[in-house]
Structures are given as structure tokens and as C-alpha cells.
């Protein structure tokens, strides 16, 4: 039997990058996966096609995060979609992966950038969890995709780093709060992963090599490097781990 057979998972930001790889892995292990996306319906459709072609089960859920009522919208669409799949509204796994980036040092940050990044990276996960707790079964899993930027000095992206610090704090606090229900809450902190998010930072071989060089393995991470860790955290194998911020940066800045 596959590790996640009978489980239902919601992966935010699963149209591209890390979220797509996570959705694929969870579906590969037997979960029914809600592929959440914001604007890129084509990319979300590609994730869905790849999963179904591989024999997995998934469906799309759209909601723009960082907007008023984002969590309500997402869960309304999720409930409708699960009903269409003749499945109850219960969830087993919530992966808060969707995130927005923005490079700005202290002298360049603006209130608008602060509000946008906090809305998507910190406020949205908080309220998705708040609403999701109504659906999450006891013994469930909450996995937040943080960043090594929160635990290493990264002044180039000051506000982004701060949002991930807030996510780490949320992770630890909720792990304590939800342990009586057997729900584990953990965060995974990638270093540089080869996705659209940092494509603008590696437009030349020189800049790409600089990012790869941050890892002890001297390569950029691949989305599957993170998806494998998330999958472990989603399974029963990780039941004794909660409230942890797992470094998944390939030994960045050791």
C-alpha cells in the first residue's frame, strides 16, 4: 500500500516550482491532491495533467492569496471540488507553499512591499490554517514552506526574510497548540531552488554559479529535493517530529 492512500492534501502554489513537485510526490504516494494556484491556470493545468498521466488523482483550486477573504474563497472552492469528487470535505495534509518574493534592502523597502509580502507569505498561511482546522482530521499534517533566509542574514531581501521568520514562529506556536489533536506542524526551509522565483538572479552562468555555490554541494536545489522532505513530513513516518524548522538548503552557509 502506498504511504498516503486515502489521504487528501491541499498544496498551495502548486502550479509551478516547489509546489508542483510536492503535489506530484503526494499524488504519487496515493493522496488526492488539491492543486491550488493564483493566476497561472495554464501551469496549474500542466501540473494536473502530469499527475493524472502518472495515474494520480488531483484537481485544481484557484484563489488569489493576499486579498480579502482569500482563505474563505479557497476553502469554498475546495469544498465544491471535493464534493464533485464524491469525497468528504476533510483534509489530512495542508502544505502552505505559495509565496511571493521581493528583493529590497533597508533603504529601498516600502510599506507597499511590506504589506504585499506579509499578506501572501504570513497572513495567508495563518488564515488558511485557521479555516483549515475545521477540515483537518486529527493526526493531520501542516507543513509550511519557509526559507533559509529566515535563519541566515539575508539583507538583500529584508522583508521576505521577515515574512519567513513570522512563518517559523507560527509553526512552533501551532505545533504546541495542535499536538493534543495529533496534528504535527513543521516548516521546511529551502536554500536556492531552481524555480521561476529566482530566475532573474541567474541569468548568466556567473550569477547561476554564485547561487549554486551557496550550497555545500555546489549546485542549485531541485524542487524534488524539497518535495521528498515534505512527503516524509506528510506521512506517518514523521509522527514524532513537530514544531521543527527543517533546514533543507543543501548545507548553505555551513
Is there binding between residue 75 and ligand NDP (CB under 6 A)? Answer: no
3-state secondary structure of 60: strand
Kindly state the smallest distance separating residue 139's Cβ from ligand NDP, in Å. Answer: 25
| CA pair distance 151, 147, nearest whole angstrom | 8
| CA pair distance 59, 63, nearest whole angstrom | 14
Is there binding between residue 102 and ligand NDP (CB under 6 A)? Answer: no
CA angle at 147 for the pair 145 and 152, rounded to the nearest 5°: 155
Instruction: Please identify, among the stretches 10-18, 151-159, 202-210, 233-241, the one whose residues bind ligand NDP according to the rule CB under 6 A.
Output: 10-18
Q: In Å, how far from its chain's centre is CA 173? A: 18
Among 23, 28, 66, 174, binds ligand NDP (CB under 6 A): 66
Kindly state the smallest distance separating residue 67's Cβ from ligand NDP, in Å. Answer: 8
C-alpha pair distances (Å), 47 with each of 151, 170, 207: 31, 29, 29
Alpha helices in the chain (DSSP H): 17-28, 41-53, 70-84, 111-118, 124-132, 158-178, 205-212, 223-234
71 vs 174 by CB, closer to ligand NDP: 71
Among 30, 40, 77, 228, binds ligand NDP (CB under 6 A): 40
Is there binding between residue 233 and ligand NDP (CB under 6 A)? Answer: no
| CA pair distance 184, 177, nearest whole angstrom | 10
Is there binding between residue 161 and ligand NDP (CB under 6 A)? Answer: no
- Please tell me the total number of residues recorded for the chain in this structure: 254
Instruction: Please identify, among the stretches 59-67, 134-142, 169-177, 178-186, the one whose residues bind ligand NDP according to the rule CB under 6 A.
Output: 59-67
Is residue 160 flagged as an active site residue?
yes
List the x/- string, 112-151, binding to ligand NDP by CB under 6 A.
--------x------------------------x-x----
Please tell me the count of residues contacting ligand NDP according to CB under 6 A.
30
Instruction: Please identify, among the stretches 76-84, 92-100, 133-141, 233-241, the one whose residues bind ligand NDP according to the rule CB under 6 A.
Output: 92-100
- How would you classify residue 111: left for phi > 0, otherwise alpha for psi between -120 and 50, otherwise beta? alpha
Is there binding between residue 250 and ligand NDP (CB under 6 A)? Answer: no
Residues 6+ positions from 45 with CB-CB distance below 8 Å: 60
Among 9, 193, 227, 233, binds ligand NDP (CB under 6 A): 193
Instruction: Please identify, among the stretches 52-60, 99-107, 150-158, 231-239, the one whose residues bind ligand NDP according to the rule CB under 6 A.
Output: 99-107
Residues 6+ positions from 76 with CB-CB distance below 8 Å: none
Beta carbons within 10 angstroms of residue 105's beta carbon? 11
Among 7, 9, 10, 15, binds ligand NDP (CB under 6 A): 15
- 233 and 145 in contact (C-beta within 8 Å)? no
- Binding-site ranges for ligand NDP (CB under 6 A): 13-19, 37-40, 43, 64-66, 97-101, 120, 145, 147, 190, 192-193, 195-198
Task: Return the active site residues.
Answer: 160
Amino acid at each position: 500500500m502506498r504511504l498516503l492512500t486515502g489521504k487528501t492534501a491541499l498544496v498551495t502554489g502548486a502550479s509551478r516550482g516547489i509546489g508542483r513537485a510536492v503535489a506530484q510526490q503526494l499524488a504519487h504516494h496515493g493522496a488526492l491532491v488539491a492543486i491550488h494556484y493564483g493566476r497561472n491556470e495554464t501551469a496549474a493545468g500542466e501540473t494536473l495533467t502530469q499527475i493524472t498521466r502518472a495515474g494520480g488523482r488531483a484537481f485544481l483550486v484557484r484563489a488569489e492569496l493576499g486579498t480579502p477573504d482569500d482563505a474563505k474563497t479557497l476553502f469554498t472552492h475546495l469544498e465544491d471540488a471535493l464534493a464533485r469528487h464524491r469525497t468528504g470535505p476533510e483534509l489530512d495534509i495542508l502544505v502552505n507553499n505559495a509565496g511571493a518574493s521581493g528583493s529590497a534592502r533597508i533603504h529601498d523597502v516600502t510599506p507597499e512591499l511590506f504589506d504585499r509580502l506579509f499578506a501572501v507569505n504570513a497572513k495567508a498561511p495563518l488564515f488558511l490554517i485557521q479555516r483549515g482546522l475545521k477540515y483537518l482530521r486529527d493526526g493531520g499534517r501542516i507543513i509550511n514552506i519557509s526559507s533559509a533566509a529566515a535563519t541566515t542574514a539575508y539583507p538583500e531581501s529584508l522583508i521576505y526574510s521577515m515574512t519567513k521568520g513570522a512563518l517559523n514562529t507560527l509553526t512552533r506556536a501551532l505545533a504546541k497548540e495542535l499536538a493534543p489533536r495529533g496534528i504535527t506542524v513543521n516548516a521546511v526551509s529551502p536554500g536556492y531552488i531552481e524555480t521561476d522565483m529566482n530566475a532573474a538572479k541567474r541569468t548568466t552562468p556567473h550569477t547561476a554559479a554564485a547561487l549554486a555555490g551557496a550550497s555545500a554541494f555546489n549546485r542549485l536545489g531541485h524542487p524534488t529535493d524539497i518535495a521528498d522532505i515534505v512527503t516524509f513530513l506528510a506521512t506517518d513516518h514523521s509522527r514524532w517530529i513537530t514544531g521543527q524548522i527543517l533546514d533543507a538548503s543543501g548545507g548553505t552557509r555551513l
